[in-house]
Each structure stands twice: as structure tokens, then as C-alpha cells.
Amino acid sequence: MTTRLALAVAVTLGLALPAYSAVAATPAANTAQQANPFFADSPLPLHYPQFDKIKDSDFAPAFDAGMAQQLKEVEAIANNKAKPTFDNTLIALEKSGDILDRATTVFFSLVGADTNDVRKKLQADYSARFAAHSDAIALNGKLFARIQTLYDTRSQLGLDAEGVRLVEKYYDNYVRAGAKLNDADKTKLKAMNAELAKLGTTFSQNVQNEVNASAVIVDDVKQLDGLSAEQIAAAAEAAKARKLDGKYVIALLNTTGQPPLTNLRNRDLRQKIYEASITRGSRGGQFDNTALVSRIMQLRADKAKLMGFDNFAAYNLTNQTAKTPEAVNAMLGQLAPAAVANARREAADLQAMIDKEQKAAGKPTFALEAWDWAFYSEKVRQAKYNFDESQLKPYFEMKSVLEDGVFHAANLEYGLTFKQRTDLPVYHDDVTVYDVFDADGSQLAIFIFDPYARASKRGGAWMNSYVSQSALTGFKPVVANHLNIPKPPAGQPTLLTWDEVSTTFHEFGHALHGMFSNVKYPYFSGTAVPRDFVEFPSQVNEMWADNPVILKNYAKHYQNGSAMPQELLDKVIAAAKFNQGFATTEYLGAAMLDQRWHQIGPDQVPAAKDVMAFERAALEKDGIYYAPVPPRYKTPYFSHIMGGYSAGYYAYIWSEVLDANTQKWFRENGGLSRKNGDHFRETLLSKGGSVDAMELFRNFAGHEPQIEPLLEKRGLTEGGGKK
């Protein structure tokens, strides 16, 4: 892996190798290397991975040889007797670790998208070794001395702005990785990083394994009343896959809320599904994560103290746009009261609906519970706006949403065109591949689309880069979007919910950020920006989902091609702020919980038995605890904060401030147009991390971000957020 990526692993994931030595090449070893697809650049277009030739047995040899190769390269740089220069130090580091970079990029992409037992074992076996490899580079004293020299003389090196920034970022990352610690503290740090790497891998694997193990089994189809015929058929197929013929399996997603709760009329089954979801990772057994949480938080707090910070949030936020925990607390604290007030008002509407229905049926009423919210909010939405999800879904066939919606918006805004290709290998039959062409007809990128949920795939939705753009390497981007849409039975169309439509647009915003990258150095490519900025371009791209011009182009009935009626289209737009009290409160619950975990000192970390009590107390202290609206993720299955989003889950709402300002800018400047899209691309999307994030925003918008547009967007203004 390049030093840039090695440090990214070490710093953002908390990962930590003894020195590896290259094995003497033998004829047999040379033959094996030639057969291993990671030992040379892929010959496929844009260096697209050779998925048809990659075997699980290729990874370990590539990891071992790649780490040995990079350490040899780093030693040569560190021990170079020539005076440190930008080229012989930083450019050399940027070019180091090619074998490891290729192998780890594909490996970790597949671990997320299509894992198996072999890959899980490799992940567990190598996590600490990768972390130690990062430390072997970041804590190399001779190497850091060269970087320090360049940093101290950066104004005299004759570099352009991007070159100066590269010097500064390398220096900052090495300092954050512990380069200035004494030898004893470096030894402590290496041990912490190694243990954190192992624990993080175990946590993520426990989460995925328990999601699959916690599926709810239903014996009688009558209990599934409210689900569509397609959903019931999918549940039957899922049961058959588990050798439970005649039964039905409701699979879980890795969120607190579960999609079937919106439609299931059987309240007992709704409660069963909800409780199966919310107790994951904390009910004992092999997948219980509470002890892991306690140990991870202890190690992070200890690491922060070792690095000279009061807590891990203070350490982790120094290179984000927020800078300090106090800034994050202030923003979240400003939103929480209005969000909860809005949620309580929504809850009153739901309770009124419950009371009305129970009275009409001659039955006693009951108090709204968390497992009732999705079901009755859908009823209230139908009553308020006279439509429900079942009316929308026939107009949201997945391929139409992607090609006639997402791609069409990118064409109108940026001039991009797309062509599906079937000649490139894929790692799973569900995957579709597209060439992406710029407005001048030249190839911009390759886009991989992987939409369906499966047992081998982690939860959520995400984008990753298989190949990152860089003028230094001459590479163009190969990027992928991954979703978790339930796959319908064979022969049935894939019809999306509105939330799934929005997610498809959102993730493609990340893809655009990667595809539009136009930077010199790999370090700055694509989405290599602060965590609390990276969600901004993707959130902006969501705005086109309900844009009338775009919506009319893709919202067509999957059977007869008829356009969504204007009346229904208007209702979709009018309902945009519906249920925002719930949506904001469940998000803020998770974001504030993340901060509470990472703003404690080493002597405040709870034991495993007290993890859930700590969570409850933290939510109550922040005024965000509201039983009918639990956090989007509870601690034992909160994978974001055990990975790259530690102390950073606030990033979504922080970025949404910028998003709301940007949406306002587009409206005030004529909306969807090539002129506006090109301005956004040129001033912001193409720059990656080569310019300070907030400077990029100011260059685009012409002013500092303001919070009022977000409050309006979320329905949290005086009139919308308070009783």
C-alpha cells in the first residue's frame, strides 16, 4: 500500500509489523509471482481488477511480498545520503508499495462486498500485521527527519500550492501517528495499534455474523399480512436457502430500524423483529460485543493520552473541519432540542392514529412503541398526503432509477454519458459495470454498481475506489457503489422504496467525487478529504432525486412505462419534510452517543457489564433519549465508530450544513444546469484533498456556511421544530 494509504489505515482505523525481509527469489517463486495478479498492474482497461484471475490464495503472498517490498523502498528513502528533496522523499513515498496497494485495495473491497470464511480468516490474521507495517513506516525516525527538514523549509522548495500542501499533510500525519514520541512510548503505541486492529476486525465480523444469525423465522404466512407478494416470496426463498422449506425468514439489516416494520400489521411480529435487531451484540453468546467495546474505548482513551490529548475525540478531530469536540457538541446540542420536540409532535400524531383505529375496532388502545413508529408513520403520511410507499414503488424500478435518474442527472449537470459493458470480469453476478465518458467524449472512469443485499456483504451503503486518479501515476478512476437492496425472486422486478432511491443518488455523489478527481498526487485523490466533509458532495447529489425534471425521466411504471402522475409526484415533493423529527432524532442519538464514548478519559471507561448503562445515561444526559425513537445504531452494532468514523459520525449532519447551503446556492443560481454543475466540479469536486476543505466550500459558494438552511431543510425552524 502507498505510505498515504498505510497511514490512513493506521490513523483512521486505529490499526498497528516487525520488519519483514524479502525472500530470495527462486524459479518456483518467480513463477508463482508471475501467476499472481497483484504483482503487476492489471492489463485491463484503466487497470480494472482482474476478478476472474484473483484467487483467495493470491492475497497472502501479495501481502507478504508487498510489505517486504515497501519496507525495502522506505529504508532506501530513509537512508538516502543525499539531502532530502521533495522528489527523493515524498514523491518516492507516494510511489512506494504498489503490490501491497493493489492487493489490499481489492481485498478490503471484497471483505465488505462479498466476504467468505477464507477472507475473514485472512482479515483476522493480517489486521495486526498491517497495523504494525504502518507503524514501521510512520515511526521510522530517519524517515521522519527527512520529512521534518522538508516541512521546515517548505517555503524555499519552489513548490506549487499542491506540493506545499503535500509536505504539510505528510508532516501532520506522521506527527499524529506518533513520530515525535520517545522510543518507549512508540513501543506502547505499537502494542495499542496492534490490539486495536485485532479487536476492530473481531467487532466487525461479529456484527456481520450476528445480522445473519438473528434473522426472524416465521411459521405462518398469515403473520406476514401487510407485506407485498414479492416480499413474502423473498422471505420464502430466504427460508429455503436455510433449509427451512415452508417457513419464512425476515433478514435483518445492520440498523436499528428494519424495513418490514413499515408494512407488517402483526404487532407482535413487529416487536419480535425490533427486539431481535436492538439486542444484537449485547445479549451474551459468541457475538456479544460489549467486552470488545469496553476494551476498544479503553485503548483509544489511553492512546489519546499518550499522544497528549484529553480524549480520543480531541485527538481525532484535529485534522477535521470541526477541529474540536466543543465545536461538534455545540452544533449537535443546537439541533437536539428542536429535533426531539419535532419527534414528540410526530409521535402525538401517531398516537392519535392508534387511538382512532383501536376505538373503531372496539379494542383498547396502546401506547406508541419503537416497533410501531414506521408502521403508523406510514399510515399518517398516507392520511396527510394521500399516498404510501406501495403507490411509489412501481415507478421506481432499479435500472430506471440508475440509468434514467442518476445517470440522467449527471448528464444534465456535468455532460457525462454512460455505456454498460459486459466484457469485464466481476466478483459477483449481481454486479454491473459501466464506462463513464466526459462531455468531450473521452473516457473519464469505470463505474461498478453492486446493489443487492446478501449474507456475504456488510450492511449499509458505501463507495470505494479500486483505482484512484493521479497525474503522478497517470491512472484514471475505477469506482464502485454498494447498496443493500433486498433482491427479489427470480423474474421479478427490483422496485425501490423512496429511501432506497435517495440512497442510490447519495452514493453516486461519492462516485462523482472520485471520478472527477483531478489532482497530481495520489495522497489527495478523490474522496481523500476530512471525514466531516466527505459526505457533503454525496448529500448534494440527493437533491436531484426529487427534482421534477429528473423525477419525470425515471419515475415510470415498470409494467407499462407510464409516467408517475403529476399529482403523486407533487405529493412526494410535498412530503419531503415528513417524519424529519424521527429521522433527525435517531441520527443525532447515534452521533451524540459516538461523541460521549470518545470524549471520556482513560479512567472513565465502563466495564463490559456497564456498556449499555453508559449508553442510556449518555443519551439522557444529552437530552436525546426518547424511547420511541432509539439511535440509528446502538453501541454493540455501531460499526461506523469502531472503524473510520470513530468520533466522526457527526460528519453526516456537519456535512449537511454545507449541503443545505449548496442546495440554496443552486436554487438561487438557476438550479440544474451545465453551468452550475461545471462550477461545482471545477471549484470543489475535482480538487480532492489538495485544498483545505472549507476553502473549497468558500471557493464554490462565495461565503461561509450558515446553519439556517439546514434547519429549514430538516423542518427544525421555529415553526417546524417546536410546539
Give me the half-sphere count of Cα atoms (radius 13 Å) on the Cβ side of residue 284: 0
* Per-residue pLDDT reduced to its tens digit, 44-102: 999 999 999 999 999 999 999 999 999 999 999 999 999 999 999 999 999 999 999 99
Cβ contact 569:553 at 8 Å: no
The share of the chain scoring above pLDDT 70, in percent, equals 95
Across the range 169-187, mean pLDDT stands at 97
Which residues make beta-bridge pairs with 133?
none
CA of 112: how far to CAs of 117, 266, 447, in Å? 13, 34, 17
* Per-residue pLDDT reduced to its tens digit, 179-197: 999 999 999 999 999 999 9
Long-range contacts of 292-295 (CB under 8 A, 24+ apart): 292/199, 292/202, 292/203, 292/206, 293/203, 293/597, 293/608, 293/611, 293/635, 293/636, 293/642, 294/605, 294/606, 294/607, 294/608, 294/611, 295/195, 295/199
Q: Does an H or E element contain 539, and which?
A: helix 531-541
Cβ contact 320:530 at 8 Å: yes
Tell whether the model's pLDDT for residue 11 goes beyond 50.
no
Q: What angle do CA 706, 710, 711 make, to 5 degrees?
A: 105
Tell whether the model's pLDDT for residue 549 goes beyond 80.
yes
Tell whether the model's pLDDT for residue 718 goes beyond 70.
no
Higher-scoring residue by pLDDT: 84, 27? 84
First-residue to last-residue Cα distance in the chain: 54
Helices (H) and strands (E) in the chain, counts: 30, 7
Q: What domains can be seen in the chain, in order of their start residue?
A: 3-177 (1.10.1370.40), 214-278 (no CATH), 393-577 (1.10.1370.40)
Name the least confident of 112-126, 374-388, 503-517.
Answer: 374-388
* Per-residue pLDDT reduced to its tens digit, 667-706: 999 999 999 999 999 999 999 999 999 999 999 999 999 9
Across the range 457-475, mean pLDDT stands at 95
Q: What is the DSSP string of 189-206?
A: HHHHHHHHHHHHHHHHHH
Write the burial class of residue 429 (CB in 10 Å: 0-12 exposed, 13-18 middle, 19+ buried). Answer: exposed
**Rg of the chain over all Cα atoms, to the nearest angstrom:** 26
pLDDT of residue 686: 98
Give me the half-sphere count of Cα atoms (radius 13 Å) on the Cβ side of residue 39: 15
Distance between CA atoms of residues 593 and 596, nearest Å: 5
The share of the chain scoring above pLDDT 90, in percent, equals 86
Average pLDDT value over all residues in the chain: 92
Confidence of residue 31 (pLDDT cuts 50, 70, 90): low
**Which three three-digit cell numbers place residue 605?**
471507561
CA of 541: how far to CAs of 285, 538, 596, 656, 676, in Å? 42, 5, 31, 12, 13
Which residues make beta-bridge pairs with 227?
225
Cβ contact 517:688 at 8 Å: yes
* Per-residue pLDDT reduced to its tens digit, 377-421: 999 999 998 887 788 999 999 999 999 999 999 999 999 999 999
Name the least confident of 243-247, 323-327, 572-576, 591-595.
Answer: 572-576
Q: How far is CA 154 from the centre of its chain?
A: 35
Active-site annotation, residues: 507
Tell whether the model's pLDDT for residue 30 goes beyond 90.
no
Distance between CA atoms of residues 639 and 460, nearest Å: 10
Total residue length of the chain? 723
Q: From the CB of residue 676, how many other CB atoms can be counted at a distance below 10 Å? A: 15
Residue 126, amino acid: Y
pLDDT of residue 326: 97
Q: Does an H or E element contain 464, and which?
A: strand 462-467
pLDDT of residue 259: 92
Confidence of residue 567 (pLDDT cuts 50, 70, 90): confident
Tell whether the model's pLDDT for residue 576 goes beyond 90.
no
